[in-house]
Amino acid sequence: MSRKTVFIFGAGASKADGLPTQAELLEGYFSNNPQDNFHVALNGYFKDFFGIVNTMSADNKWPSFEEALAMVEIAMDKEHSFGPVYAANKLKEIRDGLIISMGRAIESCQVGAKTIHKQFLGKLFWKGHYCKEEYSFVSFNYDILLDIALMEMLRHDIYSDYGIQFANSRDNFDSPSFNKWKPPGDKSVLILKPHGSLNWMQCASCDSIAISGNAKGQIFRTGLLHTIEHCPNDNSPMQFVVEPPSYFKRYKNFYLQATWLKLHETLAKADKIVFIGYSMPDADIMIKYAFKRACFGQNKEIVVVDPDETVKERYERVLGQITFHKMGFADLLKPENYKKIIKDNATGTSGTT
């Protein structure tokens, strides 16, 4: 029986394929999308909240996307306002604008057809290799590089299982914007996205959640960043399911709650957990709690792949003994590294290589 391995993807994995970091997202948006519908509102927000007067200046000290979004999310969650200008409706407009800005910053990036994500999964599932629950995936990124790479596995009849049911997998969900989504069958691989995803949209009225994609791997190609999508059930506007991490965050979204429960179950059953490009930042206290709770009192092999050696201490403080490999995601594809870190099923030992 094969060991159960869970791969955890952080922003560093996406950066390796050319996507911007959290700190670069906002600068990328204003550089490439100066005239869209949210530009005026976001200009005012960054001026009033972060002192950024000219969004096109090269000298701006931008907050991370998650910091900018969390400021609005907390106010909305507590039903607070920032004076008469930043009341509930304005805060919602800014929240929507920030999510759209992130998506468009990502969309404007040039990502090659053969991404590192695709190459990595191609190795894991070489020639259609499949063993139930051998590999599971967790992404704390909103982008869909991992999603697209997993969709490539459809050529081997291996389906993606997000741990939640999408409305467009049902026959009665008929929308020109969302293709039919085939639910996972016997050959499926779990992919969990606890902070949401840019290919998920939810109706605020009936709570239906839909995914942009279909069995041909056409994913995130329906123009959802540029139009207002409406729920086919009741014609209510749909919104992206994206929630930033923050200290003591309570995830109220039903689908994200279900994802967090599945995350705990998956981590608890894992024999080996491999972190790729995840820096374990201070704000991700809920993630640290989830890791600690799932791994507490258990002897698991913990592997960290990151080019920044300073993250090693953070992992050891939370998870104890780990095996740390100072390298980027692309380095993991090298045959000697892949065999040693991924395919070698011997119990890992602590150390830096």
Which pLDDT value is given to residue 33? 60
Which pLDDT value is given to residue 250? 63
Which pLDDT value is given to residue 178? 82
Q: Look-up: residue for tokens 């008469």?
A: 84
Distance (Å, whole) CA 192 – CA 210: 15
Distance (Å, whole) CA 140 – CA 279: 11
Which pLDDT value is given to residue 286? 82
Q: Look-up: residue for tokens 């996406």?
A: 14
CATH number of 1-19+112-353: 3.40.50.1220
Which pLDDT value is given to residue 224? 57
Which pLDDT value is given to residue 248? 52
DSSP 33-81: -TTSTTHHHHHHHHHHHH--S-TT-TT--PPPHHHHHHHHHHHHHTT--
Which pLDDT value is given to residue 246? 61
Distance (Å, whole) CA 210 – CA 231: 9
Closest CA to 136 of 162, 169, 164, 165: 162
Q: Are 143 and 198 in contact (CB under 8 A)?
A: yes
Low-confidence residues of the chain, pLDDT below 70? Answer: 1, 33-35, 213-226, 246-251, 344-353
Which pLDDT value is given to residue 225? 66
Question: Domain map of the chain by residue range?
Answer: 1-19+112-353, 22-107
Distance (Å, whole) CA 254 – CA 154: 28
Interhelix angle for 22-32 vs 65-77, to 10°? 90
pLDDT digits (tens, 9 = 90+) for 190-228: 999 999 998 899 998 999 999 986 544 444 444 556 677
